[in-house]
Amino acid sequence: MSEITVKPNQLIERILTLELVRVTERAAVAAARWRGRGNEKAADQAAVDAMRRELNRLPIDGTVVIGEGERDEAPMLFIGEKVGNTKGPKVDIAVDPLEGTTLCAKDMPGSITVMAMAEAGTLLGAPDVYMQKIAIGPGYPEGVVDLDASPEDNIHALAKAKGVKPNEINVLMLDRPRHADMIAAVRKTGAGIRLITDGDVAGVIFTANPEETGIDMYLGIGAAPEGVLAAGALRCVGGQMQARLILDTPEKLDRAAKMGVTDPNKKYQLLDLASGDVIVAATGVTNGALLSGVRFHKDIIETETVVYRSATGTVRRIKAEHRELAKFHLE
Ligand code: VTB
Ligand code: MG
Ligand code: MG
């Protein structure tokens, strides 16, 4: 049987996989210390500080392409910020240091820390605007669903491809007023809808293994950065995703143009969102369906991280016990 050959540039990427786990682990522990305290900003800031500190330890020449906002509005991890000790490969970095700040502040299920690292120039530089998204898991014919088709047509097409009735399809959507018509249209087909208050990075990732998550399709409007982060994970497991930026004001058009978006109505395919080798890591902050949350014990802190590597299609779940880190928890 032929061995998997490791190209030289992949060696550093293989080594860095575990380093990215450390980045999201440390950010998750920092955010979890604010879990349930009702202070979204403090939880988010703690995650940002920890993620930036750990990123700057990495042997990479990284540029934040998806971050806490554009340069003039985010003090840290802004789009364009350089991260890493510059002694390494040029890479794109995408971060959501605390995905689901409200979920963390209220200790509700599903908040995570998440980041992606990819070959330089391969992640869509997405301004923090809304994005229409549709996503399904692997194993279906290319283009079986379409962002511009009606929810009814997409549900019927996916059901046919899956060999089930439409009322056996389950869709995940953000529970938002902007989705009222879409929710009604999906419900008309008899399909089920899991409504979430926040966290559609995980929401898209759930489509990757419907037998475990019960989710066949993600549908709706969420933030663009979250869409690109989720696309990185789907690149690894072979799902399908289409997306379109919502640039409905001159200001948003201008911001997107400054980030190289030339066609504001472009329908992005998965490979437009994340076109090169990409690693995505996410650690649970509160307990959720994707990951268990951080657990604080007297001398040990427990974390769970999932890390996706598109170059090999590898998904790793890493449960870690942190003893050294726990000493700082006593402060
Ligand atoms: C979306 C979703 C994110 O925030 O951006 C949501 O993509 C915000 O939506 O996962 P609203 O502006 O309608 O509140 C998250 O849920 C968390 O960042
Ligand atoms: Mg965030
Ligand atoms: Mg977010």
pLDDT for 41-81, tens place per residue? 999 999 999 999 999 999 999 999 998 888 777 788 999 99
**H-type helices in 33-112, by residue range?**
40-55, 101-105
Each domain of the chain, given as residue ranges in start order, spans: 14-123+277-328, 130-273
Cα-to-centroid distance, 262 and ligand 2 (Å): 26
Decide: 227 in ligand 1 pocket, CB within 6 A. Answer: no
Decide: 25 in ligand 1 pocket, CB within 6 A. Answer: no
Decide: 222 in ligand 1 pocket, CB within 6 A. Answer: yes
Cα-to-centroid distance, 110 and ligand 3 (Å): 11
- Ligand 1 atom nearest the C-alpha of 225 is 7
Decide: 329 in ligand 1 pocket, CB within 6 A. Answer: no
Decide: 99 in ligand 1 pocket, CB within 6 A. Answer: yes
CA-closest candidate to residue 235, choices 194, 267, 204: 204
Q: Are 61 and 16 in contact (CB under 8 A)?
A: no
Dihedral-angle region of residue 46 (phi above 0 means left; psi in -120 to 50 means alpha; beta otherwise) = alpha
pLDDT of 329 strictly over 80? no
CA distances for 64 relative to 82, 141, 197, 288, angstroms: 6, 34, 27, 27
**For residue 70, what pLDDT is reported?**
80
Spatial neighbors of 323 by CB under 8 A, at least 6 apart, are: 299, 300
Cα-to-centroid distance, 305 and ligand 2 (Å): 17
What H or E segment, with its residue span, contains residue 61?
Answer: strand 61-66
Main-chain phi, psi angles of 287, to 5 degrees:
-60, 140
195, 96, 54, 30: CA torsion to nearest 10: -50
**For residue 280, what pLDDT is reported?**
97
Decide: 100 in ligand 1 pocket, CB within 6 A. Answer: yes
pLDDT for 142-192, tens place per residue? 999 999 999 999 999 999 999 999 999 999 999 999 999 999 999 999 999
Q: What percent of the chain has pLDDT over 90?
A: 86
- Ligand 1 atom nearest the C-alpha of 200 is 10
Structure tokens at 4: 């998997």
Residues tagged in the binding site annotation for Mn(2+): 44, 68, 96, 99, 226
Decide: 176 in ligand 1 pocket, CB within 6 A. Answer: yes
Atom 1 of ligand 1, residue of closest alpha carbon: 222
Cα-to-centroid distance, 190 and ligand 1 (Å): 26
pLDDT for 28-38, tens place per residue? 999 999 999 99
pLDDT of 330 strictly over 60? no
Atom 13 of ligand 1, residue of closest alpha carbon: 176
**For residue 5, what pLDDT is reported?**
65
Cα-to-centroid distance, 81 and ligand 3 (Å): 18
Give the pLDDT mean for 220-245. Answer: 96
Structure tokens at 309: 């590597």
CA-closest candidate to residue 290, choices 312, 308, 270: 308
Q: Are 273 and 122 in contact (CB under 8 A)?
A: no
Q: Is 278 exposed, middle or buried (0-12, 13-18, 19+ CB in 10 A)?
A: buried
pLDDT band at 9 (very low <50, low <70, confident <90, very high): low
Atom 9 of ligand 1, residue of closest alpha carbon: 222
Atom 5 of ligand 1, residue of closest alpha carbon: 223
The string of DSSP letters for 193-213 reads: EEEESS-HHHHHHGGG-HHHH
CATH number of 130-273, picked from 3.40.50.460, 3.40.50.300, 3.40.50.11900, 3.40.190.90 = 3.40.190.90
For residue 240, the SS3 value is strand
pLDDT of 14 strictly over 90? no
**HSE (side-chain half, CA atoms, 13 Å) at 129:** 24
Ligand showing the shortest atom-to-Cα distance for residue 218: 1
Give the pLDDT mean for 316-327. Answer: 95
Q: Are strands 192-196 and 170-174 parallel, antiparallel or unpaired?
A: parallel
Give the angle subtended at the CA of 36 by the CAs of 34 and 38, to the nearest 5°.
85
What CATH class is the domain 14-123+277-328? alpha beta
Write a three-state SS string for 80-92.
CCEECCCCCCEEE
pLDDT of 105 strictly over 90? yes
pLDDT for 112-154, tens place per residue? 999 999 999 999 988 889 999 999 999 999 999 999 999 999 9
State the Cα–Cα distance between residues 123 and 99, nearest whole angstrom: 18
Decide: 226 in ligand 1 pocket, CB within 6 A. Answer: yes
pLDDT of 19 strictly over 60? yes
State the Cα–Cα distance between residues 46 and 31, nearest whole angstrom: 6
Supply the DSSP symbol for 331: -
Q: Is 23 exposed, middle or buried (0-12, 13-18, 19+ CB in 10 A)?
A: buried
The rounded mean pLDDT for the chain is 94
CA distances for 45 relative to 35, 101, 177, angstroms: 13, 10, 28
Decide: 223 in ligand 1 pocket, CB within 6 A. Answer: yes
Q: Are 147 and 132 in contact (CB under 8 A)?
A: yes
